[in-house]
Amino acid sequence: MQLDTVISQINSFVWGPYMLGLLVGTGIYLTIRLDFIQFKKIAPALKLILQNKKEGAGKGDITPLQALTTALSATIGTGNIAGVATAIFLGGPGAIFWMWICAVFGMATKFAEAVLAVKFRRVLPDGTMQGGPMLYISEGLGLKWLGWLFALMGAVAAFGIGSMVQSNSVAVVVKEHWQIPEPLTGVVLALLTGAVIIGGIKRIGKVTEKLVPFMGIFYVAGALAILIAKAAAIPGAILQIISHAFTPIAGAGGFAGATVAQAIRFGVARGVFSNEAGLGSAPIAHAAAKTKDPVRQGLIAMTGVFFDTIIICTMTALVILTTGVWENGMTSSSLTYSAFEAGLPGIGGYIVTVGLAIFAYSTMIGWAYYGEECIEYILGIKARMPYRFIFCAVIAIGAFQKVDLVWNFSDTMNGAMAIPNLIGLLGLSGLLARETKKRLKEASA
């Protein structure tokens, strides 16, 4: 049996219905244990973002806001453009409803990850912070081997989904639209990424603090312009999303049709892929925040899911549905490109092309830090600088390679990270609930 066939079979389990059910189920369980915190505290959480522009109080490497933007830099990516389109193509408009459900409960999961990451982080000999699932699993649950396993899978996944896959996606799009050779794109991306990550988390934080708001506003402004022009079609699009979440939709044009089961499966799958709640990646960034209060950082962290899925993914979906191109048989970024071009002829396609490039670049920056912290946990600080150079080299190489196998393998590793992370979250849920109740009570006193 060929290697890619074996990996595909493993991948079908890792991202299959049982695993997706466990991810969403954990979010539901944590929502109940945390007294529906994402519903009660979303408004205060959004206010905290503005209040934390300056450095927070306490030990750490970057401000609480920079921790959020670093996490968002890795989270906001191709899933917001290509993933949403794929969900609609495979599951119909109803898939977006289940993407919303995934996000709502994912906010509780992301909150829990950040709280535990800050609580169990540690200061390294050079004064920098280290934290994430590898530490709250090993220190909180006492399962050092499982924490090590998470770190290993995170380090491997970073070279694929955070490096080669991203540079290849940009190189293909840039060559298609501007005829720039793929190797040249790879070298430029490697140099741009290296210029940021060689400076460590403090430089990453400073760059993402400016890059993430810019790229979000750039993409959302384009989508908003289309939706204003298509305002009359928005109620119908929302009705399609809600109705077809519970009823099958027949095929039409190039669209093959979809069952309710397909809507649920692909909506949840693309939702998890987009916001990464439960995978254990984002808490690595939040552990570096300058803060004394884990719960405060948890509240800031959960807004990441809100921005990523509730806002950006929803706007992508509404553009696709209101422009009427979703039935033309296209999928992935091609469908989103077609929708934006239909909504803003002449410039809509450029918004998607440039958006993909910026989103992919930001993903490389964020995942470089995730992978670095994972490999640093295994090999120590001495591995930090060699890792950064290797990561950049892999970016350059990945731009002109066929990365189907790399994508599948890194996707498997990325999903497999969730297994030890969810064990950590569920095993520490009692401590998490007590810590949250205590901190919130102190804050209201």
Number of Cβ within 10 Å of residue 168's Cβ equals 26
How confident is the model over 158-213, as pLDDT tens digits?
A: 888 788 878 887 887 788 778 888 889 889 999 999 999 998 888 998 999 899 98
Residue type, 376: E
Which pLDDT tens digit goes with each residue over 89-138?
A: 888 899 999 999 999 999 999 999 999 999 999 998 888 899 999 999 99
Residues 269 and 271: their CA atoms lie apart, in Å, by: 5
Instruction: Identify the residue whose tokens are 């924490």.
Output: 147
What's the rounded Cα separation, in Å, for the pair 355 and 313? Answer: 13
Tens of pLDDT along 18-43?
A: 888 888 999 999 999 999 999 999 99
pLDDT tens figures, 57-101: 667 888 888 999 999 888 887 778 888 888 898 888 999 999 999
Its CATH architecture, for the domain 3-444, is Up-down Bundle (1.20)
What one-character DSSP code corresponds to residue 255?
A: B
Q: What is the mean pLDDT of residues 325-348?
A: 86
Tell me the CA distances in angstroms from 242 to 113, 152, 260, 348, one per residue in order.
Answer: 30, 40, 11, 27
Domain boundaries, the chain: 3-444
